[in-house]
């Protein structure tokens, strides 16, 4: 049966939310920008046609957030909006027609759309004072210390004709050369690779250590000025002036007067960008004069005077030579295509992922076919289609393997799972090695000095067969192995010893239970507090924990039902690993018996930090406003409904500063009602009024 419109809307929202999280929160996209944008466009269209399904929480209503808890959160003086985008020249022409109808013939500036991560720099009296990421557009992370290490960014300006205070915005980029070097190093160290230069730039900018940032070879191109006293009244004149102050400004900007000139610029750069040393993903077209920009104004999330035309991902056509099958640590089988080498987006491609049997069948991919390969957000390119007109006459449908390519065990399919699995967990080499390698990872037990190669060496020498064997190793056994020696043997033993202090939630993740990733492990640890409690929980009890559904619950039950796994767990317990969550240390009891609700966005702390602070001082966090609540810590953008309810129930609103005072031990300044945020402040949503930006 066909899907109803409502079902399709729900499906798109759910998928967009999922991919948004992958992209903005995890920095690990699974689909290409093009695929994401197509889904977003379809959802926008359906929502426009069916206003009855409007939802304030729809992915179309928000700009993604890249905020983390580790950096100070600061408010943008001018919000950092996003740009409307299109892949269609027709839509771009409509955009230009609309503008010319509204304000008459005007000048456009065409520039490249740099594919990195946005940054806003503040300069006061010619010196860099603050660098903030885009965040949610209203609040971002203060990454000044990291940004100071980027050599393309001037710390002190040249000349003396710059405004006393202004902001300049641009893109922090990782050039291909830095990206390749970084991933080569990470591969050698057994660290996970960055999927693309954009993720590498964003990930680097949020490094805790600015020394690490300094080594990563980041670059920065600036493309927009904001401030009250800019020298000229057009984008072009100001941005060119900024070059004189020492900023890196693109050499590839052009002023265009007609649609033909804009088309020509796009055509040129669709090909020309392939020869640039840094990544770009489109062209940005901006109205040049500020007076015109002001007249056109803004929508809620983007200016009406600019648009991004995005290039389609590059494709190449090549021959599928053969298919290999890789076996992962969970036994999952991944088919990998071997291709006739072909040049694609600056690198030679020889392999591509094929996901699973269903995808192969759906595209009817056959050995010997000419196939289209595309680079999306992933490290390994993927096959997106077959050129049927070039199919050899004698080609045969592809047959998926039925037995494990390594150990020969017949493969199985689990209900609702697209992948095939080798069920021979305990005797299939890549599964055994994969589990040990997962166990020692930085985010798991973090056993330094043990890389993939050393694990293989220990396995080949018969010293380890499972994760518990690691804790029986002796330095004398390691020192005699090739490439090791006394010093590295001792280092390995020391870090194995140190891993016994790794907190419970990471131990739980390290076990490698199917579907129990880092976040799930955190939720399980927080809910059950000990491994014994997780092991003894029934499926019904497991799904009581946050984010745990029946599928994960079943996988946990299966894991602990296995005799072999239980033996390993007992040996790890004997070795002294942390099987219990640490008891939270109470810093004081000043909030004992008090219930809090946190609402809105804050200047100094993230919401999670505030929650932790409440608990550390003996208070309790509640999710909803009710008569049980003693205080609401109110930040900016607190929802009006919450505010009303709080007023009705007479609940005390306190600001972040008042809360800080409450727990600082200095409670002498009992705050007065004037110090409490007013309803007005709370619902000020910081969106610029027309013309306010410049
Ligand atoms: S102007 C108010 N110019 O694209 C709009 N943005 O989708 C200000 N970007 O967040 C942005 N190259 O990170 C502008 N030449 C360029 C750009 C550019 C890349 C990024 C920027 C922005 C995103 C919007």
DSSP code at position 389: G
Contact 33, 85 (CB under 8 A): no
Does the annotation count 113 as an active-site position?
Answer: yes
Residue 630 alpha carbon to ligand 1 centre in Å = 44
The atom of ligand 1 lying closest to the CA of 82 is 24
Least confident of 201-210, 212-221, 507-516, 666-675: 666-675
Catalytic residue among 101, 113, 310, 312: 113
Residue 171 alpha carbon to ligand 1 centre in Å = 8
Contact 303, 83 (CB under 8 A): yes
Ligand 1 pocket by Cβ (under 6 Å): 81-83, 111, 113-114, 118, 134, 171, 223-224, 284, 303, 306, 308
Residue of 118, 167, 253, 281 to mutate, ligand 1, most atoms within 8 A of C-beta: 118
Please give the average per-residue pLDDT across 649-674, as a whole number: 71
Q: What is the structure's pLDDT at 679? A: 31
- Burial grade of 287 (CB within 10 A; 0-12, 13-18, 19 or more): buried
User: Strands 280-287 and 254-256, how do they pair?
Assistant: unpaired
Q: Flag whether pLDDT at 681 surpasses 60.
A: no
The pTM for the full model equals 0.58
Least confident of 14-23, 140-149, 358-367: 14-23
Contact 378, 344 (CB under 8 A): no
Domains along the sequence of the chain with CATH: 2-63 (1.10.287.610), 74-310 (3.30.470.30), 314-390 (2.40.50.140), 429-501 (1.10.150.20), 504-575 (1.10.150.20), 595-684 (3.40.50.10190)
Q: Flag whether pLDDT at 195 surpasses 90.
A: no
Give the Cα separation of 220 and 114 in Å (integer): 10
Residue 55 alpha carbon to ligand 1 centre in Å = 27
Interacting residues of 669 by C-beta distance below 8 A, sequence separation 6+: 661
Q: Which of 412, 327, 402, 399 is nearest to 361 (CA)?
A: 399
- Beta strands (DSSP E) in 52-164 are 73-75, 84-86, 108-114, 117-124, 127-133, 139-141
The atom of ligand 1 lying closest to the CA of 111 is 15
Residue nearest to atom 2 of ligand 1 (CA): 81
Q: Flag whether pLDDT at 57 surpasses 90.
A: no
Q: What is the structure's pLDDT at 497? A: 95
Q: What is the structure's pLDDT at 368? A: 95
Other Cβ atoms less than 10 A from the Cβ of 256: the count is 18
Please give the average per-residue pLDDT across 452-474, as a whole number: 94
Residue nearest to atom 22 of ligand 1 (CA): 82
Residue of 110, 113, 169 to mutate, ligand 1, most atoms within 8 A of C-beta: 113
pLDDT digits (tens, 9 = 90+) for 364-409: 999 999 999 988 656 678 898 999 999 988 999 999 999 999 999 9
Q: What is the structure's pLDDT at 102? A: 94
Residue 302 alpha carbon to ligand 1 centre in Å = 10
Give the Cα separation of 93 and 26 in Å (integer): 36
Per the prediction, the chain carries an average pLDDT of 86
Give the Cα separation of 312 and 318 in Å (integer): 18
Residue nearest to atom 12 of ligand 1 (CA): 113
Residue 693 alpha carbon to ligand 1 centre in Å = 15
pLDDT digits (tens, 9 = 90+) for 406-460: 999 999 998 778 899 999 988 999 999 999 999 999 889 999 888 888 999 999 9
Contact 328, 419 (CB under 8 A): no
CA atoms within 13 A on the CB side of 164: 0
Give the Cα separation of 415 and 409 in Å (integer): 19
Please give the average per-residue pLDDT across 76-104, as a whole number: 93
How far is CA 306 from its chain centroid? Answer: 26
| pLDDT range class, residue 54, cuts 50, 70, 90 | confident
CA atoms within 13 A on the CB side of 351: 12
Least confident of 224-233, 301-310, 528-537, 542-551: 542-551
Tokens of 610: 């505030």
User: Strands 595-599 and 620-621, how do they pair?
Assistant: parallel
What is the percent of the chain with per-residue pLDDT over 70, rounded to a whole number?
A: 91
Give the Cα separation of 23 and 12 in Å (integer): 16
The atom of ligand 1 lying closest to the CA of 115 is 19
Residue 82 alpha carbon to ligand 1 centre in Å = 7
Q: What is the structure's pLDDT at 34? A: 79
Angle at 415 between CA 414 and CA 416, to 5 degrees: 115
Exposed e or buried b per residue across 639-675, where buried means at least 16 C-beta atoms within 10 angstroms of its C-beta: eeebbebbeeeebebbbbebbbbbbeeeeeeeeeeee
């Amino acid at each position: 049966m066909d899907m109803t419109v409502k079902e399709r809307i729900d499906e798109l929202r759910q998928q967009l939310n999922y991919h948004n999280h992958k992209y903005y929160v995890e920095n690990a996209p699974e689909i290409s920008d093009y695929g994401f944008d197509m889904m977003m466009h379809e959802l926008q269209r359906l929502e426009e046609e069916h206003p009855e399904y409007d939802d304030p929480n729809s992915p179309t209503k928000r700009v993604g957030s890249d905020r983390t808890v580790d950096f100070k959160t600061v408010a943008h003086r001018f919000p950092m909006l996003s740009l409307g985008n299109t892949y269609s020249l027709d839509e771009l022409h409509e955009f230009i027609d609309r503008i010319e109808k509204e304000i008459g013939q005007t000048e456009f500036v065409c520039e490249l759309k740099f594919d990195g991560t946005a940054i806003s720099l503040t300069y006061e009296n010619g010196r860099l004072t603050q660098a903030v990421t885009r965040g949610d557009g209203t609040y971002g992370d203060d990454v000044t210390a990291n940004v100071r290490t980027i050599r393309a960014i001037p710390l002190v300006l040249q000349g003396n004709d710059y405004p006393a205070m202004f902001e300049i915005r641009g893109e922090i980029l990782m050039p291909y050369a830095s990206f390749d070097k970084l991933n080569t190093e990470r591969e050698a160290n057994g660290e996970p690779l960055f999927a693309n230069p954009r993720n590498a730039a964003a990930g680097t900018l949020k490094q805790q250590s600015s020394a690490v940032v300094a080594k990563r070879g980041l670059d920065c191109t600036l493309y927009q000025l904001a401030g009250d006293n800019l020298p000229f009244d057009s984008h072009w004149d100001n941005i060119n002036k900024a070059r004189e102050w020492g900023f890196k400004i693109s050499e590839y900007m052009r002023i265009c007067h007609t649609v033909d000139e804009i088309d020509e610029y796009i055509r040129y750069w669709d090909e020309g960008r392939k020869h640039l040393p840094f990544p770009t993903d489109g062209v940005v077209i901006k109205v040049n004069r500020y007076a015109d920009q002001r007249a056109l104004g803004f929508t809620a999330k983007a200016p009406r005077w600019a648009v991004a035309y995005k290039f389609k991902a590059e494709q190449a056509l090549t021959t599928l030579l053969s298919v290999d099958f890789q076996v992962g640590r969970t036994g999952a089988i991944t088919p990998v295509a071997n291709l006739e080498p072909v040049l694609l987006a600056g690198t030679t491609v020889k392999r591509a992922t094929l996901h699973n049997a269903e995808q192969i069948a759906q595209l009817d991919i056959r050995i010997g076919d000419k196939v289209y390969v595309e680079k999306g957000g992933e490290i390994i390119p993927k096959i997106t289609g077959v050129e049927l007109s070039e199919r050899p006459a004698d080609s045969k449908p592809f047959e998926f393997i039925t037995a494990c390519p390594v150990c020969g065990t017949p493969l199985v399919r689990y209900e609702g799972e697209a992948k095939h699995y080798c069920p021979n967990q305990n005797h299939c080499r890549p599964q055994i090695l994969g589990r040990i390698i997962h166990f020692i990872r930085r985010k798991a037990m973090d056993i330094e000095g043990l890389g993939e190669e050393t694990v293989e060496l220990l396995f080949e020498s018969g010293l380890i067969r499972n994760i518990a064997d690691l804790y029986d190793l002796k330095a004398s056994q390691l020192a005699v192995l090739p490439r090791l020696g006394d010093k590295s043997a001792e280092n390995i033993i020391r870090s194995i010893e140190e891993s016994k202090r790794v907190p419970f939630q990471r131990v739980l993740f390290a076990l490698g239970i199917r579907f129990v990733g880092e976040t799930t492990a955190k939720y399980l640890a927080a809910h059950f507090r000990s491994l014994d409690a997780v092991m003894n929980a029934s499926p019904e009890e497991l799904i009581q924990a946050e984010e745990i559904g029946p599928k994960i619950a079943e996988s946990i039950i299966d894991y602990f039902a296995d005799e072999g796994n239980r033996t390993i767990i007992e040996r790890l317990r004997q070795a002294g690993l942390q099987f219990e969550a640490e008891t939270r240390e109470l810093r004081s009891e000043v909030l004992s018996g008090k219930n809090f609700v946190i609402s809105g966005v804050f200047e100094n702390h993230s919401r999670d930090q505030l929650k932790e602070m409440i608990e550390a001082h003996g208070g309790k966090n509640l999710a909803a406003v009710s008569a049980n609540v003693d205080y609401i810590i109110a930040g900016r953008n607190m929802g009006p409904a919450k505010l009303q309810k709080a007023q009705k129930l007479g609940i005390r609103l306190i600001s972040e500063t008042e809360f800080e005072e409450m727990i600082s031990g200095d409670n002498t300044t009992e705050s007065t009602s004037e110090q409490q945020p007013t309803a007005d402040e709370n619902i000020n949503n910081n969106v610029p009024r027309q013309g306010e930006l410049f």
